[in-house]
Structure 1
Amino acid sequence: MVPLRKAKAPAPADTPSARTPRQPRGEARVESILAAAAQLIAESGTAAVSMHAVARSAQTSIGSMYHFFPDRESLLDALAERHLQSIRAINQTIADITPATWQALSAHAAIDRLVTPFIAHLRRHPDFLALMHGRMSTQEDADFIRGIRRMLAARLPRVPARRLDGYAAVMHALAAGGMHVGYERAPGRQDLYLQEIPRAIAAYLAHVEQGG
């Protein structure tokens, strides 16, 4: 449920990437660098991220920065990959929910199981929207839509597949579209959007289940 633009193109094979630390001290340094980058993004957007700015914020040398991250883009990519790993884990958790569980939940409870993990991630990581806007992989987005589709199939077993696909597309649009508007046009009211978007999706699901 992330505001999406065209996904970032894969990097060429010769594009430099982050170096994996081999010692605990190096791991701690990388954690500090990534945390500093995330904080800068949360406060001022990705434009605020430069190698020197992150080094100052992380209280590390510019040499250490370049030791682990060849350039600014590799730093942003490393931070984005962490978010993607979390999104993949959330999608897998949703995929593991059984049809019987989906059927036993109310519409609001079902949407809570579907959407709340993403909301929680966004709240824990205020850098997420600014960093991932335009970087989200189409695979993670497709997995989220499949999760919606499985939930609908379990709850509406008599509804034709094509109609379920349409319902899933609308629910995804409510989530991703709502966050897109919130990020682009009302950045100071993102908490309101995070609170109200699940309610809107739950109301839509309840309407559909009542034969609307």
Structure 2
Amino acid sequence: MSSTPATSRLSKQPDERRDEIVAATRQLFAERGVAKVSVTEIAKRVGVTRGLIYHYFPDRDALIDLIFEDHIDEFVEAVSRWDAEREAGNVEKALLDCVAMFRHHLHAKDMFREDLGHPENAGLYNRFVDRAVRAVVDRLRVTTVEAYARAHHIEIDHVGEVFYVLVYGLIGLVRSSPDTDDQVLVAIVRQTLHLDLGN
């Protein structure tokens, strides 16, 4: 009867097995933090060998990247909702709502985000923020920036790069000085982008 578990493991579809590995990784990261979870522990949670984990993922970083994508997708989706719900022409309100959205996501509490904030995970944190900012800026360019450009002249050059620096800077400022007033953040965005608040 000992062959039954092995047979059931081998009979799983590749996508199903891969999803199990990703789910177990998410659970372990949430329970223990990124730095403390090894591929051996992931394999044990799923009930497979380390070799099978490496069959699906070249290394532990590839699994971490998938977890990054979950959080980044959530952030980008929030940007899309903000863009869809904003009142056309009311730039001031849109900026305040955007600042509130950023604050919400930056201060959301879960083990993964808290773990990334520890000094020993600085490299992972920087990798995560870089990817998140790029994804957010990509979304802003095809939604908010294009909509703004239809009604106003964009007064900045190198739009993507300016947005990248702005979003990255806002994240750093809100994380390091969480008490910074929303009106200050709005003023920084307005001044950096030379926004026309007239119409």
Report % sequence identity.
16
Match of 2:11?
Answer: none
Offset, 1:76: 1.1
Question: Is contact 2:25–2:42 with CA below 8 Å preserved after alignment?
Answer: yes
- Which runs of structure 2 are paired with 1:116-127 in the superposition (5 Å)? 116-124=100-108, 125=110, 126=113
Q: Does 1:132 align with 2:128?
A: yes
CA contact (8 A) 2:22 2:63 kept: no
**Which structure is larger by alpha-carbon Rg, 1 or 2?**
2
Q: Which position in structure 1 is the counterpart of 2:89?
A: 103
Deviation of 1:89 (Å): 1.6
Distance 1:65 1:202, change over 3 A: farther
Q: Which amino acid aligns with 2:186?
A: A
Structure with greater contact order relative to length (CA < 8 Å, sep ≥ 6)? 1
Pair 1:174 & 2:169 matched: no
Residues 1-212 of structure 1: pairs in structure 2 closer than 5 A = 20-21=15-16, 27=20, 30-38=22-30, 39-41=32-34, 48-52=36-40, 54-55=41-42, 60=45, 63=48, 67=52, 70=57, 71-97=59-85, 101-104=87-90, 107=92, 109-124=93-108, 125=110, 126=113, 130=125, 132-136=128-132, 138-150=134-146, 152-153=148-149, 157=151, 159-161=152-154, 163=155, 173-180=165-172, 190=175, 192-193=177-178, 196=180, 198-204=182-188, 208-209=195-196
For residues 166 and 145 of structure 1, the distance between their equivalents in structure 2, rounded to whole angstroms, comes to 12
- Within 2, Cα distance between the matches of 1:149 and 1:91? 12
Contact kept? 1:33, 1:65, Cα under 8 Å: no
The secondary structure found in structure 1 opposite 2:33 is helix
C-alpha spacing 1:96/1:111, structure 2 compared with 1 (3 Å): same
Give the alignment's Cα RMSD to 1 decimal. 4.3
8 A contact 2:137–2:160 mirrored in 1 = no
Q: Deviations for 1:117-161, whole angstroms, at most 9, x for unmatched residues?
A: 34323323515672613444845422234545257558xx4x423
CA distance in 2, matches of 1:110, 1:137: 19
- Give the TM-score taking structure 2 as reference length: 0.55
The change in CA–CA distance for 1:142 and 1:110 in structure 2 (over 3 A counts) is same
Q: 1:93, CA displacement in angstroms?
A: 1.7
2-structure distance, mates of 1:178, 1:140 = 13
TM normalised by structure 1 equals 0.53
Task: Mark the CA change 1:175 to 1:74 in structure 2 (over 3 Å): closer, same or farther.
Answer: closer
Whole-angstrom CA distance in 2 between matches of 1:197 and 1:40: 31
In the alignment, structure 2 segments of 5+ residues that lack a partner are 1-13, 118-124
Counterpart amino acid of residue 92 in structure 1: S
Aligned to 1:10: none
Distance 1:132-1:167 versus aligned 2 partners, 3 A rule: closer
Aligned AA (1:196): T
